[in-house]
Amino acid sequence: MRTLFAGAGATGGYFGGRLAERGKDITFLVRPPRAATLARRGLRIHSPAGETTIHPRTVTAATLDGPFDLIVLAVKSFALDQILADLKPAIGPATVVVPLLNGMRHLDTLLEAFGPSHVWGGVCMIAGTLNDEGDVVQMSGMHKLTYGPLTGPDDRLAAVTEALSGADFESRASDDIVQEMWEKWVFLASTGIVNILMRGTIGEVEAAPGGAALALAVVDEALAVAEAAGHRSRPPQEAFLRTSITAEGSPTTTSMYRDLTAGAPVEAGTIVDDLVARAEKLGVPVPLLHAARVNLAVYQARLGS
C-alpha cells in the first residue's frame, strides 16, 4: 500500500519512521522547513530501545501530485483545516484516512471534507516529542496504534493491516474504533487536566495531600460525559485509568501539558472545550473540567496577546 503520513512530528515521525525502517512504502507530507531538516539530518528516533536514523521520502503540498492508498493524519488539531486542503490531491477513489489526533471532533471535520467512504478512526498511545534538533523522542516504551472503519466491515482492512504492521510498535485493528477513541479521549483529557490544573506530573499530584482524590474526581467527571454520550469506558479501561492517574511517583505528563509548559499553542478546543461543551449539552455537571477550560482559555489568550 502506498502510505502517506501527513505530518512528521512526534506521532507521525515515530509511527511512520518505524514503518519506513521495516521497508514499508512510506512517504511523509511535510512543510518546506521540516523537509529541509529531514533531508539534512534524516528522521532520527531516540527511544528507550536505542537510536535509529531513517532517510524518509518526503513531499510538500506543492509536489503532492497523486493519490495514496492510505493516509495517516498526524497533525495537531489547529493544523487540521490547512492539511485537509493540502491533502485533496492525495485522495483517490479507495483511499483510507486514519487520523491519530486526540479527541473526537476531527472525525466530523474529516467526514465533511472527504466523505464516509474514506474516513476511518484511529488512536495512538505514545509519549513523544520533538527535540530542539527536530528529532523524534519516544519518552517511554509505550507505542501502540489502533485503527478501524467507523461503520461495519470494510474489504480494505487486510491491506491496511498489512501496511501498518510488522514494525517495532504494537498495531491492531479494532471493530469498535469509536468506543476506543472515546476511551482514549477520557484517558488523555483526565490526565492532561490533572497536569494542567495542578501544574505537575501525575506522581507530583498524587504526592500532594488530597491529590489522588482530586485526580479521581476529574476522572469521574470525564467518565460521566462519556457515559451520557453512550461511550462510557469499559471496566478494564476505567480501572487502568484510575490506577494510572493515581500512580505513586509517576512521571506521566501529556502532550497537552508539554505544549503548555513549552509556551506553545495547546489543543484545548478539541481535548477540553469539546468535552465541556458535550457535558453542557447532555446536562452533566463538570466543575473541574470547566475550571480546566477557563485555565486554558486564559493561557491561550495570553499567547495570542
Ligand X SMILES: CC(C)(CO)C(=O)C(=O)O
Ligand Y SMILES: NC(=O)C1=CN([C@@H]2O[C@H](COP(=O)(O)OP(=O)(O)OC[C@H]3O[C@@H](n4cnc5c(N)ncnc54)[C@H](OP(=O)(O)O)[C@@H]3O)[C@@H](O)[C@H]2O)C=CC1
Contacting residues toward ligand X, per CB under 6 A: 102, 125-127, 187-188, 191, 254-255
Residue 64 or 121 having the CB closest to ligand X? 121
Q: 253 Cβ partners below 8 Å, 6+ apart?
A: 127, 195, 201, 202
Q: Name the grid cell of 147.
A: 485503527
Q: What are phi and psi of 24, to 5 degrees?
A: -70, 160
Shortest CB 155 distance to ligand Y, Å: 28
In whole angstroms, the minimum distance from the beta carbon of 131 to ligand X comes to: 16
Selection from ligand Y, ligand X, none that 29 binds (CB < 5 to 8 A by kind) is: ligand Y
Q: In the bound complex, what is the minimum distance in angstroms from residue 41's beta carbon to ligand Y? A: 13
Question: Which among ligand Y, ligand X, none contacts residue 7 (Cβ within 5 to 8 A by kind)?
Answer: ligand Y
The nearer residue to ligand Y, 60 or 165, going by C-beta atoms, is 60
**Which sign does the torsion angle of CA 72, 7, 263, 129 carry?**
positive
- Complex with ligand Y: residue 126 or 289, whichever CB lies closer: 126
In angstroms, give the least distance from the CB of 271 to ligand X.
8
Contact (Cβ atoms closer than 8 angstroms) between residue 218 and residue 288: yes
Q: How many CA atoms lie within 13 A of 267 on its CB side?
A: 24
The residue among 7 and 17 lying less far from ligand Y, judged by its C-beta, is 7
Helices (H) and strands (E) in the chain, counts: 13, 10
How near is the Cβ of 103 to ligand Y at its closest, in Å?
Answer: 7
The residue among 43, 106, 121, 160 whose CA lies nearest residue 270 is 106
* C-beta of 43 vs 124, nearer to ligand Y: 124
Q: Determine the Cα–Cα distance for residues 164 and 72; give it in Å rounded to an integer.
A: 10
Give the shortest CB-55-to-ligand Y separation in angstroms: 17
Residue 113 contact, options ligand Y, ligand X, none, Cβ 5-8 Å cut-off depending on partner type: none
The interface partner of residue 269, options being ligand Y, ligand X, none and the CB cut-off 5 to 8 Å by kind, is: none
Work out what residue 233 binds among ligand Y, ligand X, none; the CB cut-off runs from 5 to 8 Å by kind.
none
43-47/170-173 β-pairing: unpaired
> 37 vs 195, which CB is nearer to ligand X?
195
Interface residue list for ligand Y (CB under 6 A): 7-12, 29-31, 34, 74-77, 79, 82-83, 86, 100-102, 124, 126-130, 255, 267
Phi and psi for 144 in degrees, rounded to 5?
Answer: -130, 140
* Closest residue to ligand Y in the complex (CB): 9
Dihedral sign (CA 75, 81, 85, 88): positive
Residues contacting residue 243 through CB under 8 Å, at least 6 positions apart: none
Nearest approach in angstroms of CB 168 to ligand Y is 17
Looking at beta carbons only, is 34 or 143 nearer to ligand X? Answer: 143
In the complex, least distance from residue 82 CB atom to ligand Y, rounded to whole angstroms: 4
User: Residue 203 region, left (φ>0) first, then alpha (ψ -120 to 50), else beta?
Assistant: alpha
Nearer CB in complex with ligand Y: 28/218: 28
Cα(193)–Cα(296) distance, integer angstroms: 10
191 binds, among ligand X, ligand Y, none (CB under 5 to 8 A by kind): ligand X
